[in-house]
């Protein structure tokens, strides 16, 4: 099956997505491994890729691991851990130069698959379990990353707002896990977690470059050593959350600048036909420098150092982030709520519509210039089960009027107000 250039199939228990193209001088390879976000597995799952990148059976020392990437003409290798909806996703990426541009005895694409397959399925072991030294070091790496969030008050406030709003949902969990869980993780327990993660993960493998689905299927069979297990897919268990009352949470820390964050719920998600309207709503509210929050809260009233909004289309959540003088709290809340009401009343200028369409048009057209952006866009489609190309989404965006944005605005309900304030007495 093909759509938007990607050809889709499955082999060895994973879904394969190949975009044969000569447009790029490299092969972009991306492997997504997704599992449901869960309290007891979120931290070990986050730690696993940090340990996997330290060494494999053939390259057990980290220096050998890096030297092998150099052997592949400086291939890029990296990973991310994040959440999509109520899933925790580990994404491995490789970027390898196309064979036709170098003098290489072996196929570089084949060598890259051998490397990635080994990273995933044949980690460096000691006495049948993960190397204790690697586990100890990488536990500290993850701990530092989690501590960095607490020290970055803008990120901290954004995370805390989500944590409070989604306090009874898996989505409250940070994809890197919880600091309190790290000390209890041993090489043995992590190796066990790794095996159950690998067995249970939903796997999507992407390749963009001058190749064919047939070649990729052969490489997967050869290098991933997995049986032809049933291929799993993501299940959308989205249920709109109705808001009965707005909760306000105030937290005191040693900060001089207040952080005012708000969480909104909407029934519109990525798979809905009205998704384009929700994108436009977020863009006009706070997605761009011309948006209502930026212009009215920051520029006109000088109430905020920053003010913006985000929309998570996989979870049906909107968030507002702003940094304010602590004494301006009430005034800032009132003005932000006014902007939400303006949108619900349909008070949207042609200029706001046209500028927002132009920004979204730029973002969607830039996707075509990057192999990894193409992959990311298609993965959103696979994840959500909604088959919609970037061009189709753009066409929908172009047709949206203020009435469509007003309708989307009516579905966004303020749920949580979170205020991070100082400890000093006024």
The pair of structure tokens assigned to 178 is 């919880």
Sorted by sequence, the CB contacts under 8 Å of residue 133 that are 6+ apart come out as none
Q: Name the DSSP class of 36.
A: E
124 vs 174: CA distance, rounded Å: 27
Helix and strand numbers (H, E) in the chain are 15, 14
Do residues 45 and 262 touch, judged by C-beta distance below 8 A? no
CA 222 to chain centre: 30
Sign of CA pseudo-dihedral 155, 161, 163, 166: negative
Which backbone phi and psi does 204 adopt, to 5 degrees?
A: -125, 120
Domains of the chain, CATH where assigned: 2-223 (3.30.830.10), 247-421 (3.30.830.10)
Q: What is the pLDDT of residue 105?
A: 62
Sorted by sequence, the CB contacts under 8 Å of residue 220 that are 6+ apart come out as 11, 12, 14, 16, 113, 117, 205
> Taking the model in full, what pTM does it have?
0.94
Tell me the DSSP string of 163-226. Answer: HHHTTTSGGGS-TT--HHHHTT--HHHHHHHHHHHHHH-EEEEEEEES--HHHHHHHHHHHS--
Do residues 130 and 194 touch, judged by C-beta distance below 8 A? yes
Do residues 408 and 277 touch, judged by C-beta distance below 8 A? yes
Q: What is the pLDDT of residue 2?
A: 45
User: Which residue stretches of the chain have pLDDT < 70?
Assistant: 1-4, 102-106, 226-228, 424-426
Q: What is the pLDDT of residue 425?
A: 53
Q: What is the pLDDT of residue 150?
A: 92
């Amino acid at each position: 099956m093909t759509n938007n250039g990607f050809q889709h199939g499955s082999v060895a228990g994973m879904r394969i997505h190949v975009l044969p193209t000569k447009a790029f001088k490299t092969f972009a390879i991306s492997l997504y491994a997704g599992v449901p976000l869960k309290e007891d597995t979120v931290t070990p799952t986050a730690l696993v890729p940090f340990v996997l990148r330290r060494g494999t059976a053939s390259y057990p020392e980290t220096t050998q691991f890096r030297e092998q990437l150099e052997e592949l003409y400086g291939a890029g290798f990296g990973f991310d851990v994040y959440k999509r909806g109520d899933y925790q996703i580990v994404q491995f990426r490789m970027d390898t130069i196309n064979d036709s541009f170098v003098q290489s005895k072996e196929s570089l694409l084949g060598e890259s698959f051998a490397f990635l397959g080994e990273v995933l399925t044949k980690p460096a072991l000691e006495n049948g379990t993960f190397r204790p030294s690697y586990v100890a070091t990488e536990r500290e790496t993850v701990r530092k990353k989690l501590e960095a969030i607490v020290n970055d008050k803008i990120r901290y406030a954004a995370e805390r707002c989500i944590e409070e709003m989604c306090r009874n949902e898996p989505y409250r969990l940070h994809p890197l896990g919880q600091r309190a869980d790290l000390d209890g993780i041993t090489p043995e327990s992590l190796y066990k977690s790794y095996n159950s993660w690998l067995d249970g993960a939903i796997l999507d493998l992407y390749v963009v470059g001058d190749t064919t689905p047939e070649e990729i299927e052969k490489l997967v069979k050869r290098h991933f050593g997995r049986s032809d297990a049933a291929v799993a897919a993501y299940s959308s268990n989205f249920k709109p959350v109705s808001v009965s009352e707005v909760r306000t949470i105030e937290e005191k820390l040693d900060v001089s600048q207040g952080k005012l964050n708000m969480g909104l719920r909407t029934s519109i998600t990525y798979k809905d036909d009205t998704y384009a309207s929700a994108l436009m709503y977020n863009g006009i509210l706070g997605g761009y420098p011309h948006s209502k929050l930026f212009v009215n809260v920051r520029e006109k009233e000088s109430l905020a150092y920053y003010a913006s909004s985000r929309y998570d289309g996989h979870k049906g959540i909107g968030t507002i982030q702003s940094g304010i003088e602590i004494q301006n709290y009430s005034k800032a809340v009132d003005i932000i709520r006014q902007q939400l009401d303006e949108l619900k009343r349909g008070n949207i200028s042609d200029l706001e519509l046209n500028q927002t369409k132009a920004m979204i048009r730029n973002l969607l057209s830039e996707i075509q210039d990057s192999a990894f952006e193409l992959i990311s866009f298609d993965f959103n489609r696979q994840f959500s089960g909604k088959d919609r190309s970037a061009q189709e989404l753009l066409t929908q965006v172009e047709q949206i009027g203020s009435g469509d944005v007003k309708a989307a605005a009516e579905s966004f309900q303020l749920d949580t107000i979170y205020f991070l304030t100082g400890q000093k007495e006024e």
